[in-house]
Each structure stands twice: as structure tokens, then as C-alpha cells.
Structure 1
Amino acid sequence: MHSLASSGGELTPEQVVADARAAGLHFLAATEHNTAATHDTWSRQADGDLLVILGQEVVTRTGHWLALGLPPGHVVDWRYGVRDDVIERQLAEVHRAGGLCVAAHPHAPYPSGTFMYPYQGFDAVEVWNGPWSSDVPWQADNEAALAEWGRSLAADLHQGRWRPATGNSDTHLKGQLGVPHTVVLAEELSADEILAAIRAGRSWIAGSTAVELSFTVSAGDRSAGIGERLATGGEPVVARVDVRGVPSGTVSFHTEQGTAHRAPLTSSGAAVVEWRVSAADSAFVRVEVRHPGGHMAALSNPVVLA
């Protein structure tokens, strides 16, 4: 989220927080461009119903990234580009402070917006930024970001380290809040728990609060949810997705072989879809839900199969 303190921002922190409460959000991340000047203001907006995570959108010469969970007043340096070979040092600084590093809108089509750094060292990748498809020329190319992340999953899992997907509204203006937002499967509403769940991939992305999704994979009497690992023991695996709020849409299951199965949703927007796969066929399975026109309604991080 951004306020007047960021370029292009038109809202005060108080206005953003009021909109967040009206939308039913439980937390937001305040990520002004290259400044911590509003940290105190943002912190005063938090209460028991709304968590404000302090951070920064680090706007460098060759890409933007999010530092989430910063201590109040902490500013991350931004005066560099990919050829300066300093990004690892900046990521380590955020990690030492207990924060999370997210590659932001990797395919944003404007100067400095396209992400030119390697994903190595980052904790997560923003694959969905703002409306899925837009006529606005500077809107991030979400299809490209998702495809790039999806192609890397199998190789990353093989190397023992995968980077979860996140989605953010990147709110600057009235009416943008929550489109999309990351739904986090955390034990409690605290910055530590939220960031730990995002780091582990225990999250999915919703295009609006009207969309609901649950996704589990089971083998025998064992089951796992989003971001978790399922020990299949060589048994057949059943992937089950429960969707609400996407009338006449489509749910698809994705593995290391690409799009492996598609199924239509009912006109009511509510459906339960099951599909069988095995660990021999793929190291993971994830789901996407799209509206009839093809725009994304929801997507999940994977369940890892072992």
C-alpha cells in the first residue's frame, strides 16, 4: 500500500486504513517508495482488528522489490542497479532485521519497473499486481510474471528451495485496494506469523473478497494444504479444490508438466473439483481459477509431493 508519501499516491494512511477496514481486510503492508517517513503514522492506525506491517518498496534503477517487516524508521538503500552487484548485501540487511524480501511486479513495462535481478536470495515473487488485465499502459504483465514463476517451480523444488507467489493491489489511488490480495493461512494475526506463512508459501491470491478457495491434496489417510509437503508413500494422490464466487469460471490443476487438468465451474460459482495425480508425475500441484473471459480469479501456491 502507498500513501501521499509515494509518487503517484493520492491517499493518506488514514484513508487507506479506513478502506481496508471497509473491505474486510485483516492486514496490510505499508510500502512507501524509498522512505520510512510515514512509519509512525502507519503504526498509529493499527488495532486489534487490523495489522499494519511496516515496509518499503525499494525502487532501484533496474527493478523494484518489497522489504516487508522492517523496524520503524528503517530505510533500505535503493541507489543502485543490477550491474552494481550489491543486491545480495541489501537482501541480507533486510533478513538480519527479520524482514521478508519480495520481487515486485517483475514484468512492469516502464523504465526501472521491469525486474532485472535474479530471484536468488528473494523470499517470494509478486506474480499478480493490480487488475489482472488492464488497458493502462504501465500495468504489470501478470500473465508473464505467473508463467515465469510457474516454469521455475519444478527446478527450484529439485534444488530444495522454491519461492512462493504473492499478489498485491499496489494501492496508490481510491478503488484499488484488495485487487488482488494475498490470503494467508496463519495461526494468528501478527507480523511474525503472517510473514512466516508467506515465506513458507501457506497462502493463495484472490482477485476480490467475493472469491473463496480451499485446496488440499491427500494420499491414503494423509493430507496437506497449500504450501505444505505431502509424503505420498507412492500411493495415488487426490487433489481437491473447493471454489466459491466465480460463476461459470474454470479451475485448472498445474504440475511440472504444465496445465494438467481443467474443469468448468457451475453458474452459481460454487463447486468442488477433484483430480488424481502421483508424485511420480510431478513434484507439486497447484491450482488456478479463472473467470469466463480468462481473467484470473484466484491462484494458489503449490502442495509439494514427496
Structure 2
Amino acid sequence: MSFPPTRAVGRGAAWYRGDCHVHSVHSDGELTPEELVVRARAIGLDFIATTEHNSAAAPGAWGHLAADDFLVVLGEEVTTKTGHWLALGIDPGQVVDSNHQVRDGLIDRCLDRVHRAGGLCVVAHPHAPYPSGDFMFPFRGFDVVEVWNGLWTSDRPWNADNEAALAEWGRSLAADIRTGSWRPAMGNSDTHLEGQMGIPHTVVFAAELSTGAILAGIRAGRSWIAESADVDVSFTAHTGARAAGVGERLATRGGQVEVQVVVRGVPVGTVSFHTDSGKIHRVPLPGAGPGAVRWRTTAEESMFVRIEVRHPNGGVAALTNPIILT
């Protein structure tokens, strides 16, 4: 099989874990495609995206690695002089030209080519600490922002560059939601070396395990970011008989909203609740077992609610996209 199929059998409509930013020996990674997939499956991932620098996935390198319970999404890391971005779900053999920069105004044309192929355009590591790592393009036209990138965090899964990206994204949420143009957050490992796979990764609710469904879930914000597969977060909001999950809208009809969070795999951490007013509530998690947290608000008080789960040292263990209250 030259290229991987765009659909796997999967588990139907379900939460799927995946790492959408990985590199193999076909660009500047140290692992073969076979080694990457073995490691992804071993840590509980359901899909990965191959994102070699400025090149398409090599024919025959990935197709035989797909399985009924594992999906390989074709992509590219478009590495320009003024920032990197991910083109996810592009056609087999498609290469997005990287010969553009913020001053020439060509970015919209490049994004349009990816969108015409049904793909997703992701701002990659916008505050990466190396030349061309700082993202200088406007976010307009991009679908998603990679607020958590694991490449420079092998000794710890969170650093100041990710903190800056998260803060930048968080500050823009209220205005973007109000105009109907908000961009979901995602997290990826940017794997190049042994031991990086899945730290972090994105957990997506998708109608099926297919490229189209996974990208649709990410595009809609039906996703959250996990430090590892040991971490699990359930995040819902309820008012009366109505309920909504991450990335969804909850019509409150003026009623009170109860937000419920259950966290597993983060002992002695904290859960913080963030709205258009910033961080407004923080609750400690127990030292053992799952931690269940509840908080109440209204649509008048909160345009949206999103969650951050942090370790005692301040590092992020998980964070979610918002539930929007109307």
C-alpha cells in the first residue's frame, strides 16, 4: 500500500488520542515510520500525522502501518523564514510551497490550497526559541493554534514558550468567540527523538476514526490536550435537561450552569476555571483517585468556560477548549 487509507475501523463515535506533529528519518527525525507507529500504539494513541519539513510523506513509507485501530494522517510542516505551520489532511504527494514569508503576502494563497484539499492549517509552536520559530504571520486564515509543543520539553512537558502561546490564545478567545471566528487549541509532541512521542497529544471526539472526522473534530474544538495517556479529563456543562461538552454551545436560557470536571491521572494537582474574565476559580485535586470538581456560573457572567489542570510545580497536565455559553 503506497499511502495509508483515510479511514480505519476504529470504535465509531468516540474520543480518540493522537499526535499530529511528528518527524521521521524522511526529514530530520531519528526514528523510522515503523518505529514511530510502534511507539504511538504502545502509549495508547489512535492516530498520528506525519509532518515532514517541506515535503510530502514518502510513497510506501506509511501505508502498510495503518490498521483497523490505527490511523495515519498525511501532513507537512511548512517551514518558512517567518514561522512554521502544519498542513494536516493534505492529498497524497501534495507539497505546500514553503517559499513565502510575512512580507510577501502569499500566505493566504498557501492556506487556500490546503483548504481546497479538505485540510487543516495549524499555527505551529508560535513562540519556539530558535530562528524562524517565532510565528510572525497573522492568525487570520488559520484553523487551529498549537499552544503546547513538546519538542523543547524533553526534561519537562511544559515551558515558558508554551505558557506564552497559551496566554496569547487565551487572551484572544473572548473577542474571537464574539465574532464567530475562534480558533481551537491543540497540543503535539513535535517528535524528532526517542521518548518524545505523545508528550503532549490531542484527544478528539470524532464520529469515526477517519482523517475527515478527526480533522472535523479538531476544527470544531471538540478536543482537549493531555500530557500523556495516563491523564483523562471529563468536562461538561449542564443547565436544566440540557448539556454540552468541550467545543459545544450550551443554550442556557438565562438559567444557572453547573460545570463538572472529573480528572484522572493527576494526583495533588489543581483545576482552574477560565472565562472571558480570566482565571476565576481554582480547586485542588485529591492525592489519590479521580478528582471531581463542580462550579456554577451563568451565561451573563461567563461567555465561555475552559479548564486547565496543573501539577503542583505549575506545569500543565491537561487543558481544554471552551464550552460556549449562550
Q: TM-score, normalised by structure 1?
A: 0.96
Task: Report the Cα distance in structure 1 between the residues aligned to 2:255 and 2:57, rounded to whole angstroms.
Answer: 55
Whether 2:149 is the aligned partner of 1:155: answer: no
CA contact (8 A) 2:151 2:192 kept: no
Secondary structure at the aligned position of 1:185 is classed as strand
Match of 1:3 in 2: 24
Match of 1:208 in 2: 228
Task: Report the Cα distance in structure 1 between the residues aligned to 2:152 and 2:30, rounded to whole angstroms.
Answer: 22
Match of 2:282 in 1: 262
Task: Report the Cα distance in structure 2 between the residues aligned to 1:190 and 1:37, rounded to whole angstroms.
Answer: 18
- Matching of residues 20-35 of structure 1 within 5 Å: 20-35=40-55
Task: Report the Cα distance in structure 2 between the residues aligned to 1:203 and 1:248, rounded to whole angstroms.
Answer: 24
Whether 2:200 is the aligned partner of 1:183: answer: no
Secondary structure at the aligned position of 2:194 is classed as coil
Aligned pairs, how many?
303
Match of 1:282 in 2: 302
Task: Report the Cα distance in structure 2 between the residues aligned to 1:64 and 1:191, rounded to whole angstroms.
Answer: 22
Whether 2:246 is the aligned partner of 1:226: answer: yes
Relative CO higher for 1 or 2, CA cutoff 8 Å, sep ≥ 6? Answer: 2
1:135/1:27 Cα in 2 relative to 1: closer, same or farther (>3 Å)? closer
Secondary structure at the aligned position of 2:300 is classed as coil
- CA shift digits 1:6-63 (9 cap, x unpaired): 23x1011111011111111100000000011525312221111110000000000100
Match of 2:11 in 1: none
- Matching of residues 115-130 of structure 1 within 5 Å: 115-130=135-150
Whether 2:67 is the aligned partner of 1:51: answer: no
Shift of residue 130 of structure 1? 0.4
Secondary structure at the aligned position of 2:42 is classed as helix
Task: Report the Cα distance in structure 2 between the residues aligned to 1:37 and 1:216, rounded to whole angstroms.
Answer: 38
Q: TM-score, normalised by structure 2?
A: 0.90
Structure 1, unmatched stretches of 5+, are none
- CA shift digits 1:124-164 (9 cap, x unpaired): 0000000795679xx77100000000000000011111100
1:237/1:37 Cα in 2 relative to 1: closer, same or farther (>3 Å)? closer
Q: Which runs of 4+ in 1 moved over 2 A?
A: 131-136
Task: Report the Cα distance in structure 1 between the residues aligned to 2:116 and 2:127, rounded to whole angstroms.
Answer: 28
The amino acid across from 1:6 in the alignment is S
Task: Report the Cα distance in structure 1 between the residues aligned to 2:64 and 2:107, rounded to whole angstroms.
Answer: 32
Task: Report the Cα distance in structure 1 between the residues aligned to 2:57 and 2:41, rounded to whole angstroms.
Answer: 23
1:15/1:22 Cα in 2 relative to 1: closer, same or farther (>3 Å)? same
CA contact (8 A) 2:57 2:75 kept: no
Task: Report the Cα distance in structure 1 between the residues aligned to 2:260 and 2:186, rounded to whole angstroms.
Answer: 21
- Matching of residues 91-110 of structure 1 within 5 Å: 91-110=111-130
1:150/1:289 Cα in 2 relative to 1: closer, same or farther (>3 Å)? same
Choose from 278, 300, 303 the match for 2:320. 300
Secondary structure at the aligned position of 1:213 is classed as strand
Task: Report the Cα distance in structure 2 between the residues aligned to 1:82 and 1:105, rounded to whole angstroms.
Answer: 16
Q: Give the superposed CA RMSD.
A: 1.4
